């Protein structure tokens, strides 16, 4: 059988190692494993969500309300937009998929940062499109603009704050950049880590309502996987002008978010106290890692997220070797070798998890 030639070129996404793997491979008991590899919420999920899901198990047999009205109304209200500007996704991943498939033809181009979330390029590749990566580790909008002019990409992906580096753009800089982009070019602003960013520095805050009213070609995406602690439930969303959202709806499979997931997300939005407490604790613990890196003289990226990326001195230790040493002890971090960096990305854990990790790093680095 002849498959789409585009498939040959698609790289495979490398996910953070799951706890199950460490249990299987090294016989470590699941409650002993410290997983700080996938930027999940180390405090879990709001107890209100847990209770709501326990009570809603009887709903599992029923297809979701395919209008997703409750969830979309809640999101619209949280972001001060109309429900018509919102589309829910099976993770924000699915929104990237809608974005690429709605405009890209084989041979088209997308533009992204040198180091960024790897799925943009994978979805673009599925459409037969080419990925142009700006030659920068931290987002450099001047370089973006040069490359935009040279390559005429159909989509620009901006990840702010950026995974896996941790940097974030000032809103004013982003908006100045957007003013120079043709309204025919879609600009995706992946705001998965936005609340962490604005907690550290309010200048980083990009609000969906302001973004889409000023730039009809912009798409704001966000996720319930990070601050809301629902990574396992697969819920993200996109906010954009109505024409864009309607195009995405043409590509949306029915029931694209599960019954329990949409409920979990709707309840999670209501428990703002849970989120605020996490944001505060995260920043406090993040600063411990930065202090550690400073003391050790290790280069790190100032982080506006719930993780920190630390570069290693290659002569002494590769990220792969550090990653593997810790994996065998049941500590799962993220090796950034596949991003072309001799660096390790550590999700900021709970204080007691960070104590253990910092203690081990102190000895190993």
Q: Binding a copy of itself by CB under 8 A: which of 119, 145, 317, 358? A: 119
41 lies in the binding site for a copy of itself (CB under 8 A):
yes
Smallest distance from a copy of itself to CB 225, Å: 7
Q: Binding a copy of itself by CB under 8 A: which of 32, 80, 183, 294? A: 183
Q: Binding a copy of itself by CB under 8 A: which of 15, 29, 179, 315? A: 15
Residues 6+ apart with CB under 8 A from 107: 128, 129, 130
Q: Which of residues 120-149 bind a copy of itself (CB under 8 A)?
A: 126
Q: Name the nearest CA neighbour of 157 among 244, 246, 95.
A: 95
Smallest distance from a copy of itself to CB 185, Å: 8
Query: Residue 111 in 3-state DSSP?
Result: strand
249 lies in the binding site for a copy of itself (CB under 8 A):
yes
Q: Binding a copy of itself by CB under 8 A: which of 27, 29, 62, 352? A: 62
Q: Binding a copy of itself by CB under 8 A: which of 27, 107, 179, 184? A: 184
CA atoms of 41 and 336, how far apart (whole Å)? 20
Burial of 250 (0-12, 13-18, 19+ CB in 10 A): exposed
267 lies in the binding site for a copy of itself (CB under 8 A):
no
DSSP class per residue in 279-322: HHHHHHHHHHHHHHHHHHT--B---SSSEEEEE--TTT--HHHH
222 lies in the binding site for a copy of itself (CB under 8 A):
no
Query: Residue 174 in 3-state DSSP?
Result: helix
Smallest distance from a copy of itself to CB 14, Å: 9
Strands 236-239 and 218-223: antiparallel
88 lies in the binding site for a copy of itself (CB under 8 A):
no
Smallest distance from a copy of itself to CB 63, Å: 5
Cβ atoms within 10 Å, residue 120: 25
CA atoms of 62 and 186, how far apart (whole Å)? 36
Smallest distance from a copy of itself to CB 41, Å: 5
Instruction: Closer to a copy of itself by CB, 169 or 186: give it.
Output: 186
314 lies in the binding site for a copy of itself (CB under 8 A):
no
CB neighbour burial string for 76-96, b if at least 16 within 10 angstroms, e if fewer = beebebebebbbbbbbbbbbb
CB neighbour burial string for 222-240, b if at least 16 within 10 angstroms, e if fewer = bbbbbbbbbbebbbbbbbb
Q: Binding a copy of itself by CB under 8 A: which of 25, 26, 32, 67? A: 67
Q: Binding a copy of itself by CB under 8 A: which of 233, 275, 286, 344? A: 233
Taking CB under 8 A as the binding criterion, the range among 72-80, 255-263, 288-296, 342-350 that sits at the site for a copy of itself is 255-263
352 lies in the binding site for a copy of itself (CB under 8 A):
no
């Amino acid at each position: 059988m002849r498959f789409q030639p585009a498939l040959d070129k698609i790289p495979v996404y490398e996910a953070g190692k799951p706890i199950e793997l460490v249990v299987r491979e090294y016989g470590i008991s699941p409650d002993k494993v410290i997983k700080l590899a996938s930027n999940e919420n180390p405090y879990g999920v709001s107890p209100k969500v847990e209770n709501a899901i326990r009570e809603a198990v009887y709903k599992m047999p029923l297809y979701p309300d395919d209008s997703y009205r409750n969830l979309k109304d809640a999101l619209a209200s949280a972001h001060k937009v109309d429900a018509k500007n919102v589309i829910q996704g099976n993770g924000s991943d699915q929104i990237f998929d809608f974005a690429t498939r709605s405009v890209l033809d084989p041979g088209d181009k997308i533009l992204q940062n040198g180091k960024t979330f790897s799925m943009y390029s994978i979805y673009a590749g599925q459409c037969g499109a080419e990925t142009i990566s700006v030659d920068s580790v931290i987002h450099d909008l001047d370089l973006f603009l040069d490359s935009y002019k040279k390559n005429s990409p159909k989509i620009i992906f901006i990840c702010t704050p950026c995974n896996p580096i941790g940097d974030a753009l000032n809103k004013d800089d982003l908006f100045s950049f957007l003013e120079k982009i043709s309204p025919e070019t879609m600009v995706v602003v992946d705001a998965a880590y936005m609340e962490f960013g604005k907690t550290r520095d309010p200048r980083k805050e990009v609000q969906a309502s302001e973004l889409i009213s000023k730039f009809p070609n912009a798409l704001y995406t966000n996720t319930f996987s990070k601050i809301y602690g629902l990574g396992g439930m697969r819920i993200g969303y996109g906010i954009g002008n109505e024409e864009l959202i309607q195009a995405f709806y043409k590509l949306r499979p029915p029931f694209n978010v599960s019954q329990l997931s949409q409920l979990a997300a709707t309840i999670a939005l209501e428990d703002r106290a849970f989120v605020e407490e996490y944001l505060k604790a995260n920043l406090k613990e993040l600063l411990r890692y930065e202090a550690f890196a400073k003391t050790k003289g290790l280069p790190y990226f100032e982080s506006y997220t719930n993780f920190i990326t630390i570069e290693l001195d290659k002569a002494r230790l590769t990220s792969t070797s550090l990653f593997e040493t810790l994996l065998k002890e049941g500590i799962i971090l993220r090796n950034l070798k596949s991003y072309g960096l001799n660096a390790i990305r550590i999700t900021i854990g709970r204080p007691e998890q960070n104590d253990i990790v910092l203690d081990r790093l102190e000895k190993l680095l």
